[in-house]
Amino acid sequence: MKTNFLIIFLLASLLSCQKEIPNTSTINRETDFNFDWKFQLQKDTTKLTQVPLIDTDWRDIRLPHDWSVEMSFDSILEGATGYLPGGVAVYQKHFETPANKSEKNTYILFDGVYNNAIFWLNGTLLGENPYGYSPVYFDITEVLKEGSEENILTVHVDHSRYVDSRWYTGSGIYRNVKLITLSKLHIPIWGTYLTTPEINENSAKVNLEVKVENESANDSSFSLSTKILDGEGNQVAIKSDDLQLSVGSKNSFLQALEVAKPKLWDTENPNMYKAVTSIIQDGNVIDEYTTPFGIRSLRFDVKSGFYLNEKPMDVKGICIHHDGGLVGAAVPEGVWRRRFEKLKACGVNAIRTSHNPFSEEFMNLCDEMGILVQNEIFDELDYAKDKRQNYHDRHDDYISRGYVEHFQKWGKSDLTRTMLRDRNHPSVFQWSIGNEIEWTYLHYRYVTGFWKDPKDPQNAGEYWGSEPMFTPEEMKKRYDASEKGEYILAETAKKINGWVKELDPSRVTTANLVIPQTSMVSGYADAVDIVGFSYRNKDIPWALKHFPNKQVTINENPGTWDDWKQVIENPGVFSVFMWTGIDYMGERHGDWPAKSGWGDILDLAGFELQGWNYFKSIWVNKPHISIGTLPVAESGFKQTGISGQQLPENSGAYKWRDSNMHWNYEDGEPVVVEVCSNYSMVELFINGRSLGRRSMSESPDRLFRWTMPYEAGTLTAKAGFDGSEITAELKTTSEPVGFVLTSDKTSLKADAYDVAHIEVQLVDKDGLPVKTENTKIEFEIVGEAKLLGVDNGARENIQDFQSHSIVTAKGRCLMILQSTKIAGKVKVIAKAGGFESQQQIIDIESKDPTK
């Protein structure tokens, strides 16, 4: 009994040491600042000298906003950025002072403005931010008007250099804006850093570093209290410290907490927690900062690969750019969510943010849905890339000047702000300091021996199909003897890596190496923890042999079976990031009317391509079979006799390409049938007649192929043992007799953010999707909702996105609808000549369930 009493006494004593945190319902740091902006395009690049401007006749908009995607595609523009224009514009917002400046500090936070942005409040310069991909904030306290007098925030955006990236960038305030109001004694923006260094099944240690700033008029004594809440809102840990901070000072305080029986974050079960940190004075909470986080461990082993929570994991990654198709760079969260759901369904568990930081909203969604992120920060450093043709810069015109103009001055600041924002996200598992940077250091290519002629630096010889021709020792001698420029890549990389490690020693760094033969001996590869190769599978055996203590993997690849074989056959090689998971606009110099492309899994509208099936057959451990078809003339193969076998015209034939998902050709036309399956043997039938079996052993790229003259009817693929067979079918369709209208949502929140994807698919008399006929679809919206745009996913589609009509491609199209703040019913009507109209009802539901 005495022992039990002692235990109860000790527990009571321990609990009494933890001060109860008062009610925090009145603390609201952040205000949505996206609504009620004024916008006007400018005629030229003239800098503003007198602000604010008179804006009574300007356009009313809400953010996020991308003005480029509102424009028409034009062949006289540049395909590198998708044949859409840039320009110069000014945004203004009128607002009342949110708090007494003697009692509160106020900040304005921009998650991304593209680009060369200059900010004023009430005519006073706040600052600038040239890099369009980094977040930035300003303290506006002292510039705010007194009392109820109106404030005017002015943002000048100069994207006249509209070809300053090698892909579509968008233009304007294309990410969220927040107004942040804080007590004079407060935790600053991005003011916490949380790690989980020790984890087992019984407990997890949580280390929290909290910055506190005292901008009050007096020295301050306060309690810093942190409670950890699980995903259901239950308190699972608490820590309080009594602290002091002198007037005008700032400091970082460490708190160690322990969570019992932690629910770990991983890609299948992305369990999230919140650390709610309060500053308490005189029994009142005066500031409160919430840090969402996940409990998880990351470990990389040069011999055995990558471990998430001490479980080995193959990283099935994709590269993507930041645009969302018809919405441009101002991507609603719901657009990403739809795309992520489809990507995860085919096995994707990681994304590389090519080649720049993405939005905070994007990162939050990766946390929530369980997607690992390789967070990439730069595409060029000391020297410029050519925005039209990649590699080193060969153009010197005004419109293609990019980040190199700013890196020396702004590089550390841009990286720091990005990392402070992103370093608490459990989804982030690597920091990538740069993408294919070697192209901009010309001597790197010549060191390999494949580039011979200094006067012809684009002539790579047999580089792409060959293994390294020199040993590392020979490569090092060649590198040391090579002529170098003002900047040394290895030194720049070490500098950047140091910036990263200072901010976050808990994660590894990487870089995407496109000339790894040179990088491995020059010191560049040594500057980061793990090196990822870019389209250089031929170098992997060489690197594993000569650099056994340096972990190498794949950071960018075309998405072939050979790429995935590197992961299967080399335990230390743990990742691929195929180029790309989703079509994106840009990188189409001289390809008019093709303004987008490169995606293998989803097209620009987010429709599945046959590549979705291909990667699912490789990455998902469930039975799979599906059929793709294409004319022999487009396949890279040639038919041999009547056996139905085929021979590749060259090795390039055995690589993935987007095959058709239909069975409609000219009678007798030679067709290649490609079946994706994870079974070892597949049999193909046409109209019930067997065309023979194919074995995985004769499928170098895991595609089972037959060639045959086209015959209308039903194509059937079968695999599996008796009683557990799986089948896939493609049927010849007749002419369309109508269309089907569907929506991924039938209700939306009345928050002016939520979106519905409305899809149209032509069908024949049997209800089968017709993918070889097209027609014009017109949309009508009855009710309070906003049409964001229309698209058909086709790479050559150059119809305006912001339209109420679109000609289908593959018999389908997409319209995205966004709610307003007005609740009610919205009717979407789709019309097409000669077909019966269809409609879809969308309920716009009030955020307040009582209304």
- The model's pLDDT over 40-50, given as tens digits with 9 standing for 90+, comes to 999 999 999 99
For residues 771 and 97, what is the distance between their CA atoms, to the nearest angstrom?
Answer: 56
Mean pLDDT of 249-273: 98
Give the count of alpha carbons within 13 A of 161, CB side only: 21
Out of 244-253, 346-355, 379-388, 720-729, pick the least confident: 720-729
pLDDT at 20 over 60: no
For residues 632 and 638, what is the distance between their CA atoms, to the nearest angstrom?
Answer: 7
CA distances, 331 to each of 152, 169, 328 (Å): 26, 12, 7
Closest CA to 353 of 319, 398, 390: 319
Percent of the chain with pLDDT over 90: 90
Quickly list DSSP for 721-777. Answer: -TTS-EEEEEE------EEEEEES-SEEESSS--EEEEEEEEE-TTSPBP-S---EE
For residues 322 and 307, what is the distance between their CA atoms, to the nearest angstrom?
Answer: 28
pLDDT at 646 over 70: no
pLDDT of residue 513: 98
Angle 508-513-517 from CA coordinates, rounded to 5°: 120
Closest CA to 424 of 211, 122, 143, 637: 211
Confidence of residue 2 (pLDDT cuts 50, 70, 90): very low
pLDDT of residue 14: 41
For residues 129 and 127, what is the distance between their CA atoms, to the nearest angstrom?
Answer: 7
pLDDT of residue 10: 38
Residue 267, Cβ density class (10 Å: 0-12 exposed, 13-18 middle, ≥19 buried): buried
The pTM (predicted TM-score) of the whole model is 0.95
Looking at every residue in the chain, the average pLDDT score rounds to: 94
Closest CA to 600 of 342, 421, 774: 342
pLDDT at 3 over 50: no
Mean pLDDT of 226-237: 97
Out of 120-134, 687-701, 762-776, pick the least confident: 687-701
H or E element, residue 778: strand 776-782
Q: What is the dihedral of CA 666, 670, 676, 678, to 10 degrees?
A: 140
Percent of the chain with pLDDT over 70: 94
Q: Token pair of 785, please?
A: 């909702």
**β pairing state of 235-245 and 220-229:** antiparallel
Mean pLDDT of 801-817: 98
Residue 820 near residue 785, CB atoms below 8 Å? yes
- The model's pLDDT over 739-783, given as tens digits with 9 standing for 90+, comes to 999 999 999 999 999 999 999 999 999 999 999 999 999 999 999
Long-range pairs for 71-76: beta carbons < 8 A, 24 or more residues apart: 72/800, 73/593, 73/595, 73/798, 73/800, 75/592, 75/593
Distance of CA 774 to the CA centre of its chain: 32
Residue 530 CB partners (closer than 8 Å, separation 6+): 300, 430, 508, 509, 510, 551, 552, 553
Mean pLDDT of 149-156: 96
Closest CA to 789 of 777, 778, 800: 800
Distance of CA 469 to the CA centre of its chain: 37
Q: Where are the beta strands (DSSP E) in 601-702?
A: 625-631, 637-639, 646-648, 670-677, 681-686, 689-695
Type of residue at 45: T
H-type alpha helices, 429-581: 443-447, 472-481, 489-503, 516-522, 540-546, 561-569
pLDDT of residue 637: 74
Mean pLDDT of 441-463: 95
pLDDT of residue 26: 66
Mean pLDDT of 440-446: 97
What's the DSSP call for residue 608? B
pLDDT at 531 over 80: yes
Say how many C-beta atoms besides its own lie within 10 A of residue 205's C-beta: 16
pLDDT of residue 5: 38
pLDDT at 486 over 80: yes
- The model's pLDDT over 545-603, given as tens digits with 9 standing for 90+, comes to 999 999 999 999 999 999 999 999 999 999 999 999 999 999 999 999 999 999 999 99
Closest CA to 437 of 534, 318, 530: 534
Locus of tokens 């992305």: 270
Residue 236 near residue 182, CB atoms below 8 Å? no
Residue 337 near residue 365, CB atoms below 8 Å? yes
pLDDT of residue 636: 77
Mean pLDDT of 236-255: 97
Closest CA to 801 of 326, 331, 168, 329: 326
Q: Token pair of 354, please?
A: 């090519």
| Rg value, the chain, Cα | 29
pLDDT at 848 over 80: no
- The model's pLDDT over 341-352, given as tens digits with 9 standing for 90+, comes to 999 999 999 999
Helix orientation angle between 407-422 and 489-503, rounded to the nearest 10 degrees: 30
- The model's pLDDT over 67-77, given as tens digits with 9 standing for 90+, comes to 999 999 999 99
pLDDT of residue 648: 60
Q: What is the dihedral of CA 760, 764, 768, 772, to 10 degrees?
A: -70
- The model's pLDDT over 352-402, given as tens digits with 9 standing for 90+, comes to 999 999 999 999 999 999 999 999 999 999 999 999 999 999 999 999 999
Locus of tokens 């020199």: 470
Distance of CA 317 to the CA centre of its chain: 11
Locus of tokens 């800098």: 47
Residue 671 near residue 632, CB atoms below 8 Å? yes
Confidence of residue 22 (pLDDT cuts 50, 70, 90): low
pLDDT at 147 over 50: yes
Closest CA to 235 of 177, 192, 196, 276: 276
- The model's pLDDT over 286-309, given as tens digits with 9 standing for 90+, comes to 999 999 999 999 999 999 999 999
Locus of tokens 């969604």: 365
Mean pLDDT of 677-683: 96
